[in-house]
Amino acid sequence: MEILSLLGHGFAVAMTPLNIALLLLGCFIGTLLGALPGLGPVNGVAVLIPLTFAFGFDPTSSMILLCAVYFGCMYGGRISSILLNIPGDEPAIMTTLDGYPMAVQGQAANALAISGVASFVGATIAVVGLSLFAPVLARAAIHFGPADYFALYILAFATIGGIAGVDPRKTLLSALIGLLLATVGIDPISGVPRYTGDNYHLYDGIEPIVALVGLFAISEILMLLEKHVRDRPKAIPVGSWLPQWGAIWRTRAAMLRGSGVGFVAGVLPGAGASLGSFMAYVTEKQWSNKKGTFGKGDPRGVAAPEAGNNAASGGALIPMLSLGVPGSGTTAVLLAMLVSLNVQPGPLLFERQPDLVWGLVASLYMANVALLILNLPMIGIFTRLMMTPTWALMPVVAAVTFVGVYGISNSVFDLEMMVFFGVVGYILRKLDVSLVPLVLGLLLGGDMERNLRRAMSISDGDWSILIASPISIVLYILTAGFLALSVWLALRDHRQSQAERLTEG
Amino acid sequence: MFFQRLTSVKLGAAFAAALTVTAVPASATECIAPSNPGGGWDFTCRTIGRILSELGLVDGNVQVTNMPGGVGAVTFAMVAAERPDDADLIVATSTVGITQIAQGRYPAPLDAMRYLAMLGADVGVIAVDNDSPIQTLAELNAAMVEDPTALVTAGSSGAGGWDHIRLLMVAQAAGVDDLGAIRWVQFDGGTDAVTQMMGGQIDVVSTDLGEIAGFVESGDIRILAALSDDPIPAFPDIPTAISQGIDVTGYNWRGLYTGGQVTDEQYASWVERLETLYNSENWQTAATESGLVPIWRGGAEFEAFVREQAEVMEQISRDIGVIE
């Protein structure tokens, strides 16, 4: 009941004309960014963050806009997966496995409709879960001491393996670079500057927003510059726009199973939407691939991963808001933005800023309805926009990032930093190193170190404090379980990706 | 077609953003907040800037610029090097900035700037959990004198930061010899420290009252002493340390400096204008609403106060080994 009244209050916050306008804009931009091959939720949100600073939106409005973009990307990613066989973003990879074959068989309209509805089901279940579980978790989090937070960060890093996938050495390398970068700046505990080269600009450490925009937005521009600008992908014509409702209804069980699996994957700190869609697909295949139809255009193989990735993206907001530990790459970016706006996510956020939390939750309910409408009847618009040539798109992205980042701090040094990180991001991506572990390392490394040292100051140097509380013991057990699971998944993934290579080849 | 419309929307947005960051008239008064938007220094500049123009003390509006970096060091270095004689420039600072200078963390010494005035302060407090066996400041001091390592203390600053130093000033006044032995834990804010204290992780919190006032109202924590000259208007029942025989104040004041080479005339004009602002209804209301206690020290008196505070901080930092 209490939650209903808080949610009611949230709707009142979300229903201002500005917030509704931002919500619709975010949904539209998000679907488009998701559909455009290459630009995904992390890049999309990273590009838009500086703009929200430049316009001076308050934290609630900024979050509504960016979360609408985030959810929109999750809906939009499936469009190019199905029609082009190119995932619009990372989590949509699994949707290509059955979505594209369906399109080839002339079932494009059905595939799009099924995945649209599945996205809605997954995202809505996640938002319901968010409204129910996040406050509970926030209340429990009051009992988290420094040693428990340290254990939580360990869990977050252990689950990175799940997102970044194929080569564990590269994941590790990327996470280590992030941790290394996190040590730059004045150490808040002792006040000693570290790795700053006596440059005062580095005393506050590496500004995560600047690094993120560089890593994701600038490197994306460089990546796309490299491709042949006239190379336009060929889409499969959708044909009849009217989906068969019966086909959608038959996948309802797959949608629910996918949502459940995806949601759990999302709530785990560090795991994220890619893992959500992957697990949802694998589980569904295990469950219902009786006739070997998966991979050949089985509608359930479209429904499950789409429900899964949308449920995971909503679930990932739970640890971010209630513990201050992001559940995915995109929520890491959102976290960095909140911190820059002087909003500290964590257990007290729910008490101190109910407007922000519940306004955001309410707006996510609204966003899902808006996205369902955008993604079913208006799907034709996006399939056409998806063909936007990159030579026209990228200058806009470049202008927005430079103007926006300068607008945050009025600092040329930040622009140089952003370009530097753009080049670093480009090099790492060319080497097939995922950037998400780097971002998590940069973002969590400082807090992880500080909480370890806080625990040590409390215990006066006695290491046993790290395993002294039941919370940390449970977290370490979860970590061990998750590491075992990702080893098992990595073996499967290996076979899976070989199979993919064969079909793509 | 759709694409073109979208592009023009986006370009328009980018262009508007460009305008907001570049439209700065050359002759305007400027207040630099050496932090990101939203913090204490940003509040100082935005509020004082707004009231300066409301009262007609400056021509037009005051341009507020955020120049984060090095806990104020980036701004300090810029003013020292590029605008030491710019009388249209004021910069927000506070006890935090003076601590940095006292510990040699700014690229120029204290007297590279002229300190104008403090207009308000957050009052430091010593707090324990409501369930704590410690009832008074005297009991806390007795416990620390008996065994400095017995209690875990915490606050929002690192070792040698202002929260830590003012707790040590209390301990020193109470007769604790080995200040370095007191266990100190840094958290990212007073709220975090209090939450951890409620969770039973730490015993004592030393920080600004403003941020944790809500916990006092809700009865979750108990304030043993306010480090102010007089009782805090909003909480008249909280005893000051002075009234309990410990002669220590620990304000986190908010104030302004300007370049070190502005003329005496320009300096005096700023002090006079700021005093007018301080006495206005607008400032008294704005300061109280945001949890500050309005306090005035200006001109030569303020410069002497800043120098003295820096010396005390330097001495304690040396005692506990934060600086050599």
- Give domain status of residue B11, yes or no: no
Q: Give me the mean pLDDT over the B56-79 stretch.
A: 86
Across the interface, which of A187, A400, A411 has its CB nearest the CB of B14? A400
User: Which single residue is written with the structure tokens 């510059």?
Assistant: A225
User: What residues of chain B lie within 8 A of the CB of A193, using their CB?
Assistant: 105
Whether residue B198 is contained in a domain is answered as yes
Residues B165 and B198 in one domain: yes
Please indicate whether, in this complex, the C-beta atoms of A191 and B161 are within 8 angstroms of each other: yes
Nearest-neighbour CA in chain B from A279: distance (Å): 35
Q: Is the pLDDT of residue B205 over 90?
A: yes
Which residue among B77, B161, B199 sits closest to A200, beta carbon to beta carbon? B77
> Are A189 and B186 spatial neighbours (Cβ–Cβ below 8 Å)?
yes
Say yes or no for a CB contact (<8 Å) between B159 and A190: yes
> How much of chain A is helix, strand and coil, in % rounded to 5?
75, 0, 25
Among B5, B9, B10, B212, most A C-beta atoms within 10 A, so best to mutate, is B10
Whether the Cβ atoms of residue B113 and residue B288 lie closer than 8 Å to each other: no
Contact A51 B7 (CB under 8 A): no
Closest CA to A369 of A32, A190, A124, A138: A124
Residue A133 amino acid letter = F
Which of these ranges, A243-247, B219-223, B233-237, B278-282, has the smallest mean pLDDT? A243-247
What's residue B15's pLDDT? 41
Using the 3D structure, point to which of B221, B244, B267 is the last residue of a domain. B244
Determine which helix (DSSP H) or strand (DSSP E) holds B251, and give its type and residue range.
strand B251-259
Is B68 within 8 Å of A409 when comparing Cβ atoms? yes
Q: Are strands B152-155 and B183-186 parallel, antiparallel or unpaired?
A: parallel
The residue type of A30 is G
| Most trustworthy range by pLDDT among A327-336, B61-70, B292-301 | B292-301
Give the chain A residue whose CA is nearest to the CA of B10: A396
- C-alpha A271 chain-centroid distance: 9
Report d(CA A45, CA B15) in Å as an integer: 19
**CB-nearest partner of A348 from B2, B6, B195:** B195
Q: Is the dihedral of CA A31, A36, A37, A40 positive or negative?
A: negative
User: Which of A142, A396, A411, A466 should one mutate to test binding to chain B, selecting the residue with the greatest count of B CBs within 10 A?
Assistant: A396
Q: What is the DSSP letter of B124?
A: E
From the candidates A28, A397, A410, which should be mutated to test the interface with B, based on the most B CB atoms within 10 A?
Answer: A410
Q: Do B183 and A457 touch (CB under 8 A)?
A: yes
Q: What is the CATH number of the domain that holds B187?
A: 3.40.190.10
Secondary-structure breakdown of chain B: helix, strand, coil percentages, each rounded to the nearest 5:
45, 20, 30
Contact call for residues B112 and B93 (beta carbons, < 8 A): no
- From the CA of A146, how many Å to the nearest CA of chain B? 8
Please list every residue in chain B whose beta carbon sits closer than 8 Å to the beta carbon of residue A189: 158-159, 186
Handedness of CA A429, A434, A440, A446 (dihedral sign): negative
Collapsed DSSP state (helix, strand, coil) of residue A66? helix
Q: Where is A75: in which H helix or E strand?
A: helix A59-84
Judge contact between B257 and B116, C-beta under 8 A: yes
Of A143, A200, A392, the CB nearest to B70: A200
Q: Structure tokens of A436?
A: 């998400």
Q: Are strands B293-298 and B113-129 parallel, antiparallel or unpaired?
A: antiparallel
* Predicted local distance difference test score (pLDDT) of residue A239: 62
Q: What is the per-residue DSSP string for B59-114?
A: SSPEEEEE--SGGGHHHHHHHHHH-TT-TTEEEEEEHHHHHHHHTT-SSS-GGGEE
Domain of B281, in residue numbers: 29-121+251-319
ipTM of the complex: 0.75
Is the backbone of residue A165 left (phi > 0), alpha (psi -120 to 50) or beta?
Answer: left
- Same domain for B126 and B234? yes
Residue B266 has which token pair?
């320009």
Enumerate the residues of chain A whose CB falls inside 8 A of the CB of residue B77: 200
Q: Distance between CA B14 and CA B21 in Å, rounded?
A: 11
Residues B131 and B212 in one domain: yes
- Beta strands B113-129; B251-259: pairing state: antiparallel
Residues in B closer than 8 angstroms to A458, CB to CB, are 152, 183, 185, 201-202
Pair (B134, B220) in one structural domain = yes
Question: Mind telling me how many Å the CA of B200 is from chain A's nearest CA?
Answer: 8
**Which residue in B has a C-alpha nearest to residue A411's C-alpha?**
B67
Minimal-distance CA residue of chain B relative to A465: B201
Last residue within a domain, chosen from B206, B222, B244: B244
**Highest mean pLDDT range out of A283-292, A395-404, A424-433?**
A424-433
What is the pLDDT, as a whole number, of residue B12? 42
Question: Does position B268 have pLDDT exceeding 90, yes or no?
Answer: yes
HEC string of A244-293?
A: CHHHHHHCHHHHHHHHHHHHHHHHCCCCCHHHHHHHHHHHHHHHHCCCCC
The domain that contains B85 carries what CATH number? 3.40.190.150
**Which chain A residues are closer than 8 Å to B14 by Cβ?**
51, 396, 399-400, 403-404
User: Hey, are the CB atoms on B69 and A204 less than 8 Å from each other?
Assistant: yes
- CA dist A66 and B128 (Å) reads 40
In whole angstroms, give the CA distance from residue B40 to residue B47: 10
On chain A, the residues whose CB falls within 8 A of the CB of B107 are: 200
Same domain, B168 and B198: yes
Residue of A nearest to B194 (CA): A142
Instruction: Tell me, yes or no, whether B12 lies in a domain.
Output: no
- Per the domain annotation, does B4 fall within a domain? no
Q: Do A409 and B186 touch (CB under 8 A)?
A: no
- Write down how long chain B is: 324
The pTM of this model reads 0.77
Type of residue found at B42: D
User: Is B10 within the bounds of a domain?
Assistant: no
Domain identity same for B106 and B142: no
Say which residues have a Cβ less than 8 Å from residue A442's Cβ, sequence separation at least 6: A178, A179, A181, A182, A206, A208, A211
For the CA atoms of B212, B288, A59, A51, the dihedral, rounded to the nearest 10 degrees, stands at -130
Minimal CA separation from B148 to chain A, in Å: 12
Whether B70 sits inside 8 A of A143 (CB atoms) is: no
Cβ-defined contact of B36 to A342 (cutoff 8 Å): yes
- Beta bridge partners of residue B223, listed in sequence order: B127
Helix pair A2-14, A354-375: axis angle to 10 deg: 70
Burial of B4 (0-12, 13-18, 19+ CB in 10 A): exposed
Residue B2 resides in a domain: no
Q: What pLDDT does B25 receive?
A: 43
Q: What is the pLDDT of residue A233?
A: 60
* Spatial separation of the C-alpha atoms in residues B114 and B105, rounded to whole Å: 18
Cα–Cα distance between A159 and A271 in angstroms, integer?
A: 5
pLDDT range class, residue A221, cuts 50, 70, 90: confident
The alpha carbon of residue A342 is apart from the nearest alpha carbon of chain B, in Å, by: 6
Is B64 a member of any domain? yes
Helix axes A390-409, A412-430, angle to 10 degrees: 140
Question: With an 8 Å Cβ cutoff, are A191 and B187 in contact?
Answer: no
Instruction: Answer yes or no: do B85 and B191 share one domain.
Output: no
**B26 SS3 class:** coil
**B71, B158, B159 ranked by CB distance to A203: nearest:** B71
Look at A14-23, A281-290, B166-175 and tell me which has the smallest mean pLDDT: A281-290
B2 contacts in A (CB within 8 Å)? 381, 384-385
Domain assignment of residue B21, yes or no: no
| Helix axes of B264-279 and B299-319: crossing angle, nearest 10 degrees | 90
**Overall residue count recorded for chain A in this entry:** 505
Alpha-carbon gap, residue A324 to A335, rounded angstroms: 7
pLDDT tops 90 at residue A455: yes
Contacts of B290 in chain A (CB under 8 A): none
Q: How confident is the model at residue A501 (pLDDT cuts 50, 70, 90)?
A: low
Q: Is B14 within 8 Å of A403 when comparing Cβ atoms?
A: yes
B149–A200 C-beta distance less than 8 A: no
pLDDT at B293 over 50: yes
- B110 with B255, same domain: the answer is yes
Token pair 């006066």 in the structure block, residue: A460
Please tell me the distance from the alpha carbon of residue B19 to that of residue A200, in angstroms, as a whole number.
28
CB proximity list for B85: less than 8 A, separation 6 or greater: B259, B261, B262
What is the token pair recorded at A360? 């955001």
Q: B263 exposed, middle or buried (CB, 10 Å; 0-12, 13-18, 19+)?
A: exposed
Mutate to test the interface with A, among B186, B197, B218 (most CBs of A within 10 A): B186
Q: For residues B34 and B32, give the distance between their C-alpha atoms in angstroms, rounded to a whole number.
A: 6
**Do B36 and B110 belong together in one domain?**
yes
Written as one letter, the residue type at B2 is: F
Clarify whether residues B127 and B208 are in a common domain.
yes
Distance separating alpha carbons of residues A188 and A53, to the nearest angstrom: 26
* pLDDT in the model for residue B278: 96
Q: How far is A434 from chain B (nearest CA, A)?
A: 29
- Reduce the DSSP state of residue A411 to 3 states and report it: coil
pLDDT tens for residues B129-186? 999 999 999 999 999 999 999 999 999 888 888 999 999 999 999 999 888 899 999 9
Q: Tens of pLDDT along B4-19? A: 444 444 444 444 444 4
More confident residue, B143 or A163: B143
Interface contact flag, B187 A454, Cβ < 8 Å = yes
CB atoms within 10 A of CB A447: 19
For residue B78 the two structure tokens come to: 């810029």
Average pLDDT over every residue of B76-96: 92
Dihedral of CA B152/B153/B157/B158: which sign? negative
Mean pLDDT over residues A320-335, rounded? 81
* Distance (Å, whole) CA B79 – CA B108: 10
Question: A466-480, B46-60, B64-78 — which is least confidently predicted?
Answer: B64-78
C-alpha distances out from residue A217 to A45, A399, A406, A408, B188, Å? 9, 11, 15, 16, 30
- Contact at CB, B17 and A460, closer than 8 angstroms: no
- Chain B residue closest to A189 (CA)? B158
CB-nearest partner of B189 from A191, A344, A460: A344
Tell which residue, A472, A154, A133, has the closest CA to residue A314. Answer: A133
Mean pLDDT of chain A: 83
What's the domain count of chain A? 1
Taking only Cα atoms into account, the Rg of chain A, rounded to an integer number of angstroms, comes to 22
For the stretch A345-360, pLDDT in tens is 777 788 778 888 899 9
Distance CA(A315)–CA(A132), nearest Å, equals: 11
Total structural domains within chain B = 2
